[in-house]
């Protein structure tokens, strides 16, 4: 094989590998000219205090099947990212872009996403979620009463969160920075019951309540074009 042919084959294989890797990791960019993004921010302002003598979450990640924006509930009008892919929760309160794409012009009223447990024959994005067998949808690590824990959730949840006020994607938005929706999650809800009492993450009897708390913790979404964690002061 000539040097030119060898270089061409090597170059094409490299590009193919890059595209496959990018589509299956937590890279938010999916198009060259995106006009909309979805970000996530952890809000720890409400709930019991975290400390190593009670409970403290140090890391959290979830396997996501898709993130979409909807003009009307039930209409998946704008695919922001199709997975599965891993979302890491930034626990320090920083707004982090998790999905970015070009979507049709319109007024979007909901973020629709699905937390998804690993299933057989699915690409292995992160072996922590599983490999050959049915696996997990969330991996949360931390300290409980001074001892380390890893909580593995198998919850599958299709969540629709209202965007308030609605997000408007206009014709000219591709000439400016992409419009952004920030989705708020409250990790302090995960391991407490309705009365504020701690739920031991190592006790299997608490799994159902903890998983329901995880679903309920994704509670708010708003337009946040400057990624400061606060709703826009004005629309487009």
Please name which of 143, 142, 121 lies closest in space to residue 132, comparing C-alpha atoms.
121
The answer on pLDDT for 14 being more than 50 is no
pLDDT of residue 59: 96
Question: Under a CB-based contact definition with an 8 Å cutoff, are residues 157 and 115 in contact?
Answer: yes
At residue 33, φ and ψ (nearest 5 deg) are -130, 70
Q: Helical H runs in the chain?
A: 3-23, 207-216
| Residue 12 confidence class, pLDDT cut points 50, 70, 90 | very low
pLDDT in tens, 39-93: 999 998 777 777 767 899 999 999 999 999 999 887 878 999 998 999 999 999 8
The answer on pLDDT for 173 being more than 80 is no
* Token pair listed for 85: 């892919």
Would you kindly state where each structural domain of the chain is located, as residue ranges? 3-223
pLDDT of residue 152: 97
The answer on pLDDT for 217 being more than 50 is yes
| Residue 18 confidence class, pLDDT cut points 50, 70, 90 | very low
Question: What are the residues facing 161 on neighbouring strands?
Answer: 111
pLDDT of residue 52: 63
The answer on pLDDT for 134 being more than 60 is yes
pLDDT in tens, 97-128: 999 999 998 999 999 999 999 998 888 999 99
Which position has the token pair 């794409």? 101
The mean of the pLDDT values for the chain is: 82
pLDDT of residue 196: 83
The answer on pLDDT for 157 being more than 80 is yes
pLDDT of residue 234: 52
The answer on pLDDT for 25 being more than 90 is no
| Residue 191 confidence class, pLDDT cut points 50, 70, 90 | very high
pLDDT of residue 74: 76
pLDDT of residue 6: 37
- Interacting residues of 49 by C-beta distance below 8 A, sequence separation 6+: none
**Could you give the percent of the chain with pLDDT greater than 70?**
82
* Token pair listed for 162: 């209202």
């Amino acid at each position: 094989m000539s040097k030119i042919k060898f270089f061409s084959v090597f170059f094409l294989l490299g590009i193919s590998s890059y595209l496959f890797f990018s589509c299956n990791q937590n890279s938010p960019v999916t198009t060259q000219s995106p006009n909309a993004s979805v970000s996530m921010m952890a809000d720890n302002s409400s709930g019991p205090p975290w400390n190593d003598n009670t409970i403290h979450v140090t890391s959290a990640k979830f396997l996501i099947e898709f993130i979409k924006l909807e003009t009307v509930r039930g209409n998946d009008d704008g695919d922001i990212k199709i997975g599965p892919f891993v979302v890491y929760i930034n626990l320090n309160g920083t707004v982090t872009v998790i999905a970015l794409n070009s979507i049709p012009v319109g007024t979007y009223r909901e973020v629709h996403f699905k937390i998804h447990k690993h299933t057989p024959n699915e690409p292995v994005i992160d072996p922590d979620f599983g490999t050959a067998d049915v696996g997990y949808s969330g991996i949360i690590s931390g300290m409980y009463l001074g001892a380390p824990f890893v909580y593995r959730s198998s919850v599958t949840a299709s969540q629709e969160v209202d965007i308030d006020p609605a997000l408007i994607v206009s014709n000219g938005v591709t000439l400016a920075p992409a419009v952004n929706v920030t989705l708020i999650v409250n990790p302090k809800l995960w391991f407490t019951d309705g009365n504020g009492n701690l739920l031991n993450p190592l006790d299997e009897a608490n799994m159902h309540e903890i998983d329901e708390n995880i679903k309920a913790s994704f509670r708010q979404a708003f337009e946040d074009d400057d990624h400061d964690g606060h709703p826009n002061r004005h629309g487009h």
